Amino acid sequence: MFHNRAEALALALPAAVFAAVVFLAPVVILLAEGFRNADGWSVSAYSGFLSDPLNRTVFLRTLRLGAAVTVVAAVIGYAAAFAIVNLPPKGKGRMIGLVVLPLMISPVARTYAWIVILGRTGIVNQALTSVGLTDEPVRFLFTETAVFVGLLQLFLPLMILALISALENMPKDAIPAARVLGANWFQVFWKVILPLTREGLVIGGTLVFTGSLTAYITPAILGGSKVLMLETLLYQRVTVANDFVSASVIAFILIVMSFAANLLLKRLATARSKR
């Protein structure tokens, strides 16, 4: 390790200054607008925002969907990541490629594909009616379910990748050791895998949750105005009502939610390992 502080600062500063000026300053100023009204500093914008039942509904829905997507992504993610990690090297590389592939496709395209898949005449409905589970096509589009599915597909790869990385860094003999000592798979998961891969879960969970909160296209197209989320509400407020104050309030709430989720995940993950 080199100890010349001046050099270190000189190398790191450009990036920090750039981020601060180009990104941080404008955003902070915009957020500040949420805390001002005609008389100066105040939180009246926030109380106003939250007193409107529509806003509360949108807020709770965003939170609910974000949490749901994260939990389901974690469950599926672990299963998939575990399966992938145990593949031979060639297969592993190919699978990782397949997992990364969706990330290369524009979110616009992916979302429109879902319109075709989830529509009344789409594959899902065709399958359901041919198997006999329903008589009439089910309406998926413009429901929370559609947004949920769209968001899950968008962010599952991130969770899987984060978990693969964490699983690979686990000591190789941890699982066989636990099995030899008589643990069943459930115990192996809770007491061995989860604690040892918690960093991956925290990173993956944060990325998925934050992504779901701040996604725009997917809720806008798959949910429409019947399933408003905070981000789509924000866009509506700005473009229709020129309401920058609401925009700033919503932005602040979203940022707080992201930080809170990150902290919560970290807390949950460490609590488990102390048992």
Partner 1 sequence: MKKILIASTALLLIGAHGASAQEKTLTISVYGFAQDAFKELVYDPFEAKCGCKLVVETGNSVERLAKMEANKANPVVDMAVVSMADALSATRAGLIDKIDTSKLSNFDKLYDIAKDPNGDGMSIGYTFYATSIVYRSDKVEVTSWADLLGDKLAGHVALPNVTTNQGPPTLYMIGEALGQNTPDLKAAIAAVGEKKDDIVTFYVKSSQLVQLMQQEEIWAAPIGRFSWEGFTKMDLPIKWATPKEGQTGGMNVMVLAKGSKNQDLALQFMDFWLSTEIQTALAEKLVDSPANKEVKVSPEIAENLTYGEETVKNLKLIPSAVALDNREAWLSEWNAKVGQ
Partner 2 sequence: MNSRLFPVTVLVLVTAFLIGPFFIIVAASLSEGETLAFPPQGLSLKWVAKVFEVESFRESFAMSMLLAIGGTAAALALGIPASYALSRYRLPFGETVRTVVSLPIIVPGIIVGLALLRYLVVPFGFNITLALFLAHTALVLPYAVRVVSASLNNLRSDIEEAAVLLGSSRAGAFFRVVMPNIRSGILAAFILGFVTSFNQVPVSLFLSGPGVRTLPIDMLSYMEVTYDPSVAALSALLAFMSIGIVFLAERFLGFSRYV
Site for partner 2 in 112-151 (CB under 8 A): 112-117, 121-123
- Return the closest-CA partner of residue 215 out of 55, 69, 50: 69
| Under 8 Å between Cβ of 188 and 179 | yes
Angle at the Cα of 259 (from 256 to 265), degrees rounded to 5?
135
Is residue 41 involved in binding partner 2 (CB under 8 A)? no
Name the minimum Å distance from CB 172 to partner 2.
Answer: 17
Considering only 42, 177, 244, 273, the residue that binds partner 2 (CB under 8 A) is 244
φ/ψ of 36, rounded to 5, equals -120, 150
Is residue 2 involved in binding partner 2 (CB under 8 A)? yes
> How many residues of this chain interact with partner 1, rule: CB under 8 A?
25
* Integer CA distances (angstroms), 30 to 21, 166, 246, in order: 14, 37, 11
Name the minimum Å distance from CB 231 to partner 2.
Answer: 6
Q: Taking CB under 8 A as the rule, which mask of x and - marks residues 223-242 in contact with partner 1?
A: -xxx-x-------x-xxxxx
Residue closer to partner 2 (CB basis): 11 or 181? 11
Q: How far apart, in Å, do the first and last CA atoms of the chain sit?
A: 36
Name the minimum Å distance from CB 33 to partner 1.
Answer: 14
Strands 40-41 and 36-37 come out as antiparallel
Q: Which of residues 102-131 bind partner 1 (CB under 8 A)?
A: 115-116, 119-122
Considering only 41, 53, 54, 106, the residue that binds partner 2 (CB under 8 A) is 106
Q: Which of residues 80-99 bind partner 2 (CB under 8 A)?
A: 80, 82-84, 86, 93, 95-99
The dihedral region occupied by 146, where left means phi > 0, alpha psi between -120 and 50, and beta the remainder, is alpha
C-alpha 84/C-alpha 76 separation (Å) is 12
| Under 8 Å between Cβ of 126 and 46 | no
Q: Which stretch binds partner 1 (CB under 8 A): 8-16, 22-30, 137-145, 205-213?
A: 137-145
The residue count of the chain comes to 275
Considering only 151, 162, 234, 245, the residue that binds partner 2 (CB under 8 A) is 234
